[in-house]
Amino acid sequence: MTEAPYVLDPTAADAVAEERRLRARGPATLVDVLGVTAWSVTDPDLLKELLTSPDVSKDGRRHWPGFEEAVAGWPLVLWVIVQNMFTAYGEDHGRLRRLVRPSFAPRRIAALAGRVEEITGRLLDELAAGDPAEPVDLRERFAYPLPLAVIGELMGVPAERYPEFRRAVEGIFATTATPAEAAANNAWLYGLFETLIEEKRATPGDDLTSRLIATRDEEGDGSALTEEELRDTLMLIVAAGFETTVNLIDQAVVTLLGHPEQLARVQDGRASWEAVVEETLRLQPPVRHLPLRYAVRDITLPDGRVIHRGEAILASYGAANRHPGWHGESADSFVLDRGITQGHLAFGHGVHLCLGAPLARLEATTALRALFTRFPGLRLAVPAGELSPLPSFISSGHTRVPVVLTPGA
């Protein structure tokens, strides 16, 4: 008898418990993703195999029979209709990725280090200017503005536009929105990027948006980048470039404050901030489930079941990262001695590995080191159990992170 699909909780009220239930159903199991049936893959070995297999595509137009139905009213439709490297397959993916890769090359990321430190220092100065005993929302005052400013400057987004870009991007990750709400947010988001493109065409700058526009316009036949690919590539970079880093900083702070013995080890030099970032990425990845991929042909699973051609696949990074077969009995624990080489799938795997991963690591490491150096007595203003998770099974963070700064001497 076929097991009924497990219905994912759109509010993600207890994501860790839900991921445990998914793993108990096997290396892959059918789930209901807001009305769309997909195979949630939670076994890390199987997931890595599928993420690198030519038998798995991200192009729903070509390989998902459910595409047209999804376009008609699925709240997460933006995740499958965009035309950029996120949804590309084969040669198209390689072509689109090559256009963006130079902007995230190691030397370019290294060149951003000073600016990341400057923005971090300014934000900490603003926090220090207030009453250190008065609770502040660290997500709102620190975790959000840092990556938003970094990606905004990289892309040439005017600072006064940051709030509207932020709200629109938040809507992409929401899994409690109605189809109508999602459609309205998508239309607004498209409008923001079309306006940005129009402005940058008129007045180019030294930014990634202007460079991609030049690439598009110099190839008048669209062979390098179509107009839709230009808009959707900008959307991908902005959306992925700050929301996930916000969650990484958020989760790292909350996790460290919930493990004072581990925080002490970092503060006295027995563990590194890089280890904190990697273990946070493993334990609390910024993206728990990533929609969607599709079987190009029938795929037989280790237990004999078959993902049939055209069926959708959900990469369940959160469940895979905590798999006891990968990390043993301590898989649900925050262990800095685990080492940064033991692995996680927070940034994906294979050809779709996140290009922005080095930048996210740089921002998070810089932010955490500076924050706890400036405010070594930082503590949560409420019990950790009272923090509310973001209402999303995609995005992993908290609605607020209230803290008391209580800086040291």
Sequence-ordered alpha helix ranges (H) in 137-284? 138, 145-155, 162-173, 179-202, 208-218, 227-257, 260-267, 273-283
Mean per-residue pLDDT over the chain, rounded: 94
Average pLDDT over residues 326-347: 86
With 90 as the cut, is the pLDDT of residue 122 above it?
yes
Q: Which residue has the tokens 């999602």?
A: 182
Contact 50, 41 (CB under 8 A): yes
With 90 as the cut, is the pLDDT of residue 253 above it?
yes
Q: Order the strands of the 56-57 sheet from edge to edge.
A: 6-7, 28-33, 36-41, 312-316, 289-295, 56-57
CA distance linking residue 12 with residue 17, whole number of Å: 10
Average pLDDT over residues 124-139: 94
CA distance linking residue 270 with residue 289, whole number of Å: 33
Predicted local distance difference test score (pLDDT) of residue 408: 47
CB-based contacts of 70-73 (< 8 A; 24+ apart in sequence): 70/36, 73/179
Model pTM score: 0.95
Average pLDDT over residues 303-312: 96
Encode pLDDT of 47-74 as tens digits: 999 999 999 999 999 999 999 999 899 9
Encode pLDDT of 350-406 as tens digits: 999 999 999 999 999 999 999 999 999 999 999 999 999 999 999 999 999 999 998
User: Which tokens belong to 116?
Assistant: 């990341």
The residue type of 64 is: W
With 80 as the cut, is the pLDDT of residue 339 above it?
no
With 80 as the cut, is the pLDDT of residue 306 above it?
yes
Predicted local distance difference test score (pLDDT) of residue 409: 38
With 70 as the cut, is the pLDDT of residue 219 above it?
no
Band of the pLDDT at 1, cuts 50, 70, 90?
very low
With 90 as the cut, is the pLDDT of residue 2 above it?
no
CA distance linking residue 371 with residue 121, whole number of Å: 9
With 80 as the cut, is the pLDDT of residue 6 above it?
yes
Predicted local distance difference test score (pLDDT) of residue 223: 60
Q: Which has the closest alpha carbon to 56: 350, 404, 386?
A: 350
CA distance linking residue 130 with residue 113, whole number of Å: 27
Encode pLDDT of 150-206 as tens digits: 999 999 999 999 999 999 999 999 999 999 999 999 999 999 999 999 999 999 999
Could you say which DSSP state residue 340 is in?
Answer: T
Band of the pLDDT at 132, cuts 50, 70, 90?
confident
Q: Which has the closest alpha carbon to 73: 168, 170, 228, 182?
A: 182
